[in-house]
Structures are given as C-alpha cells and as structure tokens.
Structure 1
Amino acid sequence: MNLIVAAVFGCLFFFSLVLLFVFYNKILEQKKILNKFKSKYNETAKRLYNADIQKAQLGEKLSFLLDMQTKYNNINKEFVSSKEKNQHLATKLAEQNIFMQEKLEYIAKSEKKLKFQFEQLSSEITKKNTATLDESNKKSMQNIITPMQTELKEFKKRVEYIYDKDSQDRARLSFELQSLKELNLKMSKEAKDLTNALKYDNKTQGSWGEVVLDKVLESSGLRLNHEYKKQVSLKDKNSKIFLPDVVVYLPDNRHIIIDAKTSLVAYNQYINENDKENKKRHLKEHINSIKEHIKGLSSREYEKLQEINSLDFVFMFLPIESALLLALENDVSLFDDAFKQKIILVSPSTLLVALRAVENSWRYEKQVKNINEVYSRAEKLYDKFVGFTDDMLKIGKGLDIAKESYDETLKKLSSGGGNLVNQVMMLKKVSNIKSKSDINKNLIEENS
C-alpha cells in the first residue's frame, strides 16, 4: 500500500515538473516576443523623433518662405497703389495737355486773324509793332511748350519702364520659387557624388566647397562685385589682414560674411562604414570637426573688422545637405551652440533661401528708387504746368493790350471827323487822283 502511495506521489511530482518546465518555456517565448516588440517600438520611436525633427526643419523653411511671400505681396500691393496713382496723374496731365492744345489752337487762330487785320493797316508803325508782337508771342509759346512736351514724354517712358520691370520681376520670382526645390535636390545629389569622389583630400575638398558656394551665389540672382564680393581684404583694429570667402552687401549698408568649411573625412568614413561601433566613432569625429570649425571661425570675430557693418553673425557654409543634417540630428544643441558663438550653420538650400531674400530686398530697393524718381518727375512736371498757366495768362494780357492798341490806332485811322481815311478820300475826290488800288472797303464802310 505504501508503495502504491509513493508511486502515485512520484507520478504527480514528475507531472508537476513537466508542467513547470513547459510553463517556463512558454514564459521564455513570451519574453522573446516582448523583447522583439520592445525593439520595434524603440526603432519606431526613433524614426518618429527623426521625423519630428525633419518636420520642424521643413516647417521653419516653409514659414520663412511664407513670410517672404507675405512681404512680397505687401510690397506688390504698395507698388500697385503707387502705379494707380501715377496712372491717375498721367490721365490728368493728358487731359490738361488736350485742354492746353485746344487753347493753343485758339490762340493760333486768333493770331492769324489779328495778323490778317494788322496787314490791312496802312500805317507802317502799326505794321512793325504788330509783326514784332507776333514774333515775340510765337517764341514765347515755343519756349514754354517745348519743355512741357519733353517732360511729358520722359514721364510716360519712365512709367512704362517701371510697369514692364515690375511684370518681369514678378514672373521671375514665381519661376524661382517653383525651381527652388528642384535646384536644391540637384545640388545635393551633385554634392554627394562629388564628395564620394574627393574622399580624403582636404585641400581639394576645400576648393570644391568654394565652387559649390559660387554656384549657390550665382543661382541666387546676386551679381559678383555688385551685391557680393569674394576674398575681400579686410583689417581689424590691429591692422591684421583677413580674407573672408564672401561678403554680401545689403541695401541698408549692412553686410553678411559667408565662410565655406569643408571637412568630409569623418563623414565619408561614416557613410562607407558598415560596423556600428566604427560608425558611431566616425559620427562623433564628424560632429567634433564641425564644432572645431565653429570655434575657429568665431575666434576671428569678422563682425569687428573695419569697413564692415555686420549683422553680428557669420554664415558658416557646409556644401553637403546630408552632412549638416546628420550632425544636427545627432547633436540637437549644435545649432544653438553655434548661434551663441555668433555663427549660423547653413547648407546650399538654406543659404539659397537667405540670398534670395537679399536679392528680393535689392529689387524692392530699386523699385522704391524708381517710384521716388517718378514722384520727383511728377512734381517737376506739375511745377512746370503751373508756370505754363501763369505764362498763358501773361500772354492773354499782352494780347488784350495789343488789341486795345490796335483799336486805338484803327480809330485814329478811320474814325472821327478828321480821320486819315476821310482826309485821303476827300483828297482823291478833289484832285481826281487815279490810283492802281483802292482803300480797303471795311475802312471806308466804318468811315461812312
């Protein structure tokens, strides 16, 4: 009996051990599954974090572009308003010109009529005075009208030029905004391909970085030796000479200094390395290399150089988008640390956006100058018109005086009891003079 009980307990104990072993294996399998899910979760979280960083960066770029678009729209509205005012002024001037032309035609007709009447007078003195007055009036009118017509032509040409220039600028800006993304992708691809070809030659890498910088400057629309200059020789307060890569000139007599830094050794090693530990080491070296460049560039204190009115920071240009993004993704404080040292990290795309903003500010500056010039011409034209009206009134008074003199002379000639016409007619009648021509009938009728 005891043996049977022992056997039963033994079986139960063995069965318990088997169940315990099976349960333990199940727990291990569940733990492995849990670890896999945890690994996938961590990987997904990392991707989401990177995506958030990229989203924030893209959001900043989009916000900047939207801000620039808003500024452009405001400028465009102001220009349209100014253009409407100019058109309104041009219309008024055209109306005044038509009015004055009608007056001139009336005066010309009056002159012809007066000239015809004066030519009938027998008095040589009256003829001479009339001819002198007529010639003087013509010269005065010509001296007044000629400058007026010249001013109107110049004003019309200037308004048409500004309108055409504004249309061209708007079309070009629209095209540039559409091609910006394309250009950025193309430059990034070229930079990556060339970086792989350059490998470890730092000198060649530096020269290539300057070439990429030149390409960005050319694409921005700025002109060499006008809105920007290269390798400008500058001195500090101790007369030490510095040669920054590029100095960009702003409309308000401010400056932006750009310095190209190309250090791709660690970055290339990171790209071409497959081992995780080595990749981490190369990544750290890449970030440290950028930090060293930031420190060295900050120590130069370009913003304190003579003849430079800097914006208190310097652009440090890295020619490869992915190299800068890699460093920023793995060291989130890198950009802020650089900014504290008065350095702004820029890649081809971000620098291009900034330079396009500079180019737009120059374009706006030129538009403002053109508008001011139009206003100045309009003021001069208005003053000239006021002078013209004053001269016209003076001419009218002169013509009235001439008419009075003419009437007085005509009265002496043909009116009154002892007028010349009456005496000559009586002399002809008494002496029976036979002449080839007779006195004008109008004078005889007035005398009768």
Structure 2
Amino acid sequence: MTALLPVLTLLIGLAIGALVGNRLASRSSGADSLDVDRTRDIANATLATTMRELIDVNTRQLAEATARSAAEAAQQQKSVHDLVAPVGEQLARLDQKLNDLENKRVEDSGRLNFSIGSLASLASSLQKETAELASAMKNTKVRGNWGELQLQRVIELAGMTEHVMYEQQEHIAGEGDSARPDMIVRLPDSKKIVIDAKAPMSAYLNSINATSDVERERLLAKHAVDVMAHVNALAKKNYASRVDGSLDFIVMFVPGDTFLTAAFDANPEFLEQAIAKNVFPASPGTLIALLRAIAYGWRQEQLAENAAQVVALGKELYERVGVFTGHLQKVGNSLTKATESYNSAVASLETRVMPSARRFETLAVAADQALPGVSPIDVTTRQVSLPELEAGPTEQNLS
C-alpha cells in the first residue's frame, strides 16, 4: 500500500488538473464545447484505466502480502508448537505425578487414620490397665510380690543359677527375731551379698494421679522420705553379722528406675545417705550389671577348677603311662628271654636230637614222612627307649 501512494497522488493530481483545465476552458471566450467534452471523456477514460490498473496492482500485492502473512503465521505457529510441546509433555507428566501423589496421600491418610484409631484404643486400654495396676499396687502384699517378680526377671537376665549362685527366701534365725531376705547371692570366695526387694512405692503411685503440681511435689517428697525410712530399717537389720560370710552392705532393689529417680530428684543427697548406712540402692539395670559380674566370676572360678582338674588328671595320666611303660619293658625283656630259650632249644634239636632221630631212617624203621625242620627266630623285640626308663623303673612305677 505504501508503494501505491505516489501513483495515487499523481492520478488525483491529474484529475484535479483536468477539472481545473476544464474550468478554465469553460471560462475562455474562444473555447469550443466539443473539445471540452472530448477532453473530459479522455480524462475520465484515463482515470478509469488508471484506477483499474491501480486496483489490480493493489489486489495482487494484497494477495501476495496475505500469502506471506499466512506462511509466516504457519511458521510462527509451528515454532510455538515446537516450543510448547515439551512443556505440555512435562505438564502431563507432572499432572500424572500429582495424581499419583494424591492417590498415595489418600491411601496414607486412610492408614494413618486407622493407626491413630488403633493408637487411641491402645492408649485407652493402657490407661485402664495403668489405673488397675496403680490400684493394685496400693496393696502392700501385691507390691512385694511384684518386686520379687521383677527381681526374678533380673536374675534370669543375669544368667544366675539357683542353689549355686544364689538362694531365695532363706530363713535367718536371730536373737528375739528372725529375717527372710529376698535373695542371698553367693560369691566364689564363700562370701555373700544380701538383696532386699521390698521398696515402698505408695506415695509415688499416688503422685501419678495428683490433680495439682503442689500435691504431686508433696507426694514425691513423701516418697523420698518413705524410701529413706526403708533404708534405715534395712540398716538396723544388720545382715552382715547375721549371715555367715556376708559383705558389710546390703543391696536395696527398687523394681523400677522411675521410683529411684524420683527419690533422687526429691532428695539429692539420698544416695550418699544410703551408702553411709551400708545400703546400696539398685535399679533393675544396675542389679543386672552387678549379678552379671558375679556370674562372670563364677564362670571364671569354674574354669579355674576345671584347669586344676585337668592338671591333676594330666599328672595322674603321666604317672600311669610311666607304670605302663615299665610293665611293657618287662614284657619285652621276657619276650627276648623266651626267644633266646626258643633258639637254644632249636639249636639243641638240630645238633643233638635230630641226628639221633635220622639214624632210624638207615635202620628202615622210620615213617614214610620225613621229620620236619625247625627254624630259629631271628626277630628280636624292640627296646623301649625313654629317658624316664634309663635309670630303671622305680618300685612305685612298677606297683
């Protein structure tokens, strides 16, 4: 369209010029009307022809521009498609992954809800059982039985052997009163350790159900006082003088780490005060370590006894081998003497007996079968050559 502007401007100028000339011609006095009409017709025809040519040129250029625009649009569309296609594939894969994640989330959410429900049910059951246990543990006899049961489990975990490494509920007589400790542990050197498993726990169990922090702290402080009172009671029993071979301390077994920790928290000097009275507080973990050390000592003692028995057996075997070797040497000597006697008999047979017997053959009184010959024994017995026998066997070895 820009290239046609000069042509269009020229045509318009020609048309205006023709009109102006026509006006001027109409004003002149000597102009002929026929020439004016002819000139107008020629100008109109020229203008029409020029306009048709201009329209044809414009139409062709418009068609070419439209084709070029369509080709460029197609190329641009292809370029955009090539550029957007990978993004579309990535978006499709992302959408698939999002769907998979959503499905997995729904599945995991279902399992989580089920697990939460199971956990809530378990927590409710555990809370109920805990309440029942706390109610049962308020009974002194039940607490004692539970402590003894925990002590038995500790013994089993430590690998102790009853009636060899320890005794349970052994009666101890005394002046005016008697005692029955829960366990007496035997040591390899005939020493003993007394263990008690009757620690108080009522105040601690009550503190679990306390409704306020003040009440809980008061009950925990009472728990520490109760445990310390039990320490004093054990110290007064003086097991060291009543049990033969007992060490100068007693182990106070507390069947749970929490009970002992609560006493330590309420009374930071509790451990020092208990040890000063020769009472050693022990939780299950501490007692297992102690009993395992004792069991290890028993195993080493057994190994030492076995080694001593092996030494004694080796000494006895050595002595018996010496006796047997002496007897064997006697047998060898006897076999040598027997061989020598046999060879002497064979020589006597060949030199003294057989010549007289063969004379019967010359007298025709011998049997059809000739007398067989007898060969001497050339094999000798092997002497036992041992350093122990060079000086000759002793009377003890030959007995």
TM-score by length of 2: 0.57
Residues 230 and 288 of structure 1: CA distance in aligned 2, closer, same or farther (over 3 Å): same
Runs of 4+ aligned structure 1 residues displaced above 6 Å come to 191-194
- 2:163 is paired with a residue of what secondary structure? coil
Residues 232 and 373 of structure 1: CA distance in aligned 2, closer, same or farther (over 3 Å): same
1:339 equivalenced with 2:275 (yes/no) = yes
Looking at structure 2, the residues matched to 193 and 397 of structure 1 have their Cα atoms a distance apart, in angstroms, of: 92
Contact 1:192–1:320 (8 Å) recurs in 2? no
Looking at structure 1, the residues matched to 141 and 373 of structure 2 have their Cα atoms a distance apart, in angstroms, of: 108
Q: How many pairs does the alignment contain?
A: 248
Alignment correspondent of 1:204: 142
Contact 2:199–2:230 (8 Å) recurs in 1? no
Looking at structure 2, the residues matched to 359 and 334 of structure 1 have their Cα atoms a distance apart, in angstroms, of: 29
Task: Measure how far apart 1:436 and its partner are.
Answer: 4.1
Looking at structure 2, the residues matched to 428 and 226 of structure 1 have their Cα atoms a distance apart, in angstroms, of: 89
1:245 equivalenced with 2:182 (yes/no) = yes
Task: Measure how far apart 1:193 and its partner are.
Answer: 7.9
Structure 1 residues 73-112: aligned runs within 5 Å: none
Alignment correspondent of 2:46: none
Looking at structure 2, the residues matched to 216 and 229 of structure 1 have their Cα atoms a distance apart, in angstroms, of: 14
Looking at structure 1, the residues matched to 224 and 191 of structure 2 have their Cα atoms a distance apart, in angstroms, of: 31
- Residues 175-196 of structure 1, C-alpha deviation per residue, up to 9 Å, x if partnerless? xxxxxxxxxxxxxxxx988753
Match of 2:284 among 348, 358, 369: 348
Q: Which has the larger radius of gyration?
A: 2
Task: Measure how far apart 1:199 and its partner are.
Answer: 4.8
In terms of fraction of residues, the more helix-rich structure is 1
Unaligned 5+ segments in structure 1 are 1-190, 444-448
Looking at structure 2, the residues matched to 231 and 348 of structure 1 have their Cα atoms a distance apart, in angstroms, of: 19
Task: Measure how far apart 1:345 and its partner are.
Answer: 0.2
Match of 1:303 among 240, 243, 247: 240
Alignment correspondent of 1:432: 364
Unaligned 5+ segments in structure 2 are 1-128, 376-399
Looking at structure 2, the residues matched to 436 and 427 of structure 1 have their Cα atoms a distance apart, in angstroms, of: 12
Structure 1 residues 62-81: aligned runs within 5 Å: none
Residues 300 and 433 of structure 1: CA distance in aligned 2, closer, same or farther (over 3 Å): same
Task: Measure how far apart 1:219 and its partner are.
Answer: 2.5
Alignment correspondent of 1:259: 196
Looking at structure 2, the residues matched to 294 and 259 of structure 1 have their Cα atoms a distance apart, in angstroms, of: 10
Residues 248 and 195 of structure 1: CA distance in aligned 2, closer, same or farther (over 3 Å): farther
Alignment correspondent of 2:323: 387
**Which amino acid is the alignment partner of residue 424 of structure 1?**
A
- Residues 277-299 of structure 1, C-alpha deviation per residue, up to 9 Å, x if partnerless? 22222121111001100001100
Match of 2:157 among 176, 199, 219: 219
Residues 436 and 303 of structure 1: CA distance in aligned 2, closer, same or farther (over 3 Å): farther
Residues 194 and 384 of structure 1: CA distance in aligned 2, closer, same or farther (over 3 Å): farther
Contact 2:254–2:283 (8 Å) recurs in 1? yes
1:233 equivalenced with 2:171 (yes/no) = yes
Contact 2:223–2:263 (8 Å) recurs in 1? yes
Contact 2:199–2:252 (8 Å) recurs in 1? no
- 2:252 is paired with a residue of what secondary structure? strand
Residues 225 and 440 of structure 1: CA distance in aligned 2, closer, same or farther (over 3 Å): same
Alignment correspondent of 2:353: 420
Contact 1:315–1:346 (8 Å) recurs in 2? yes
Residues 360 and 195 of structure 1: CA distance in aligned 2, closer, same or farther (over 3 Å): farther
Residues 213 and 341 of structure 1: CA distance in aligned 2, closer, same or farther (over 3 Å): same
Task: Measure how far apart 1:402 and its partner are.
Answer: 1.2
**Which amino acid is the alignment partner of residue 437 of structure 1?**
Q
- 2:255 is paired with a residue of what secondary structure? coil
- Indicate the structure whose relative CO is greater, using CA pairs within 8 Å and at least 6 residues apart: 1
Contact 1:255–1:309 (8 Å) recurs in 2? yes
**Which amino acid is the alignment partner of residue 235 of structure 1?**
A
Contact 2:171–2:178 (8 Å) recurs in 1? yes
Looking at structure 1, the residues matched to 366 and 341 of structure 2 have their Cα atoms a distance apart, in angstroms, of: 32
Structure 1 residues 144-183: aligned runs within 5 Å: none
Looking at structure 2, the residues matched to 382 and 194 of structure 1 have their Cα atoms a distance apart, in angstroms, of: 69
Task: Measure how far apart 1:259 and its partner are.
Answer: 0.8
TM-score by length of 1: 0.51
**Which amino acid is the alignment partner of residue 196 of structure 1?**
A
- Residues 322-374 of structure 1, C-alpha deviation per residue, up to 9 Å, x if partnerless? 11012123323211211111110011111111112222222222222222222
Contact 1:195–1:264 (8 Å) recurs in 2? no
1:363 equivalenced with 2:291 (yes/no) = no
- Residues 201-224 of structure 1, C-alpha deviation per residue, up to 9 Å, x if partnerless? 233222222222222223222233
- Residues 36-86 of structure 1, C-alpha deviation per residue, up to 9 Å, x if partnerless? xxxxxxxxxxxxxxxxxxxxxxxxxxxxxxxxxxxxxxxxxxxxxxxxxxx
Residues 269 and 404 of structure 1: CA distance in aligned 2, closer, same or farther (over 3 Å): same
C-alpha RMSD of matched pairs (Å): 2.4
**Which amino acid is the alignment partner of residue 367 of structure 1?**
L
Identity %: 27
Looking at structure 2, the residues matched to 204 and 234 of structure 1 have their Cα atoms a distance apart, in angstroms, of: 23
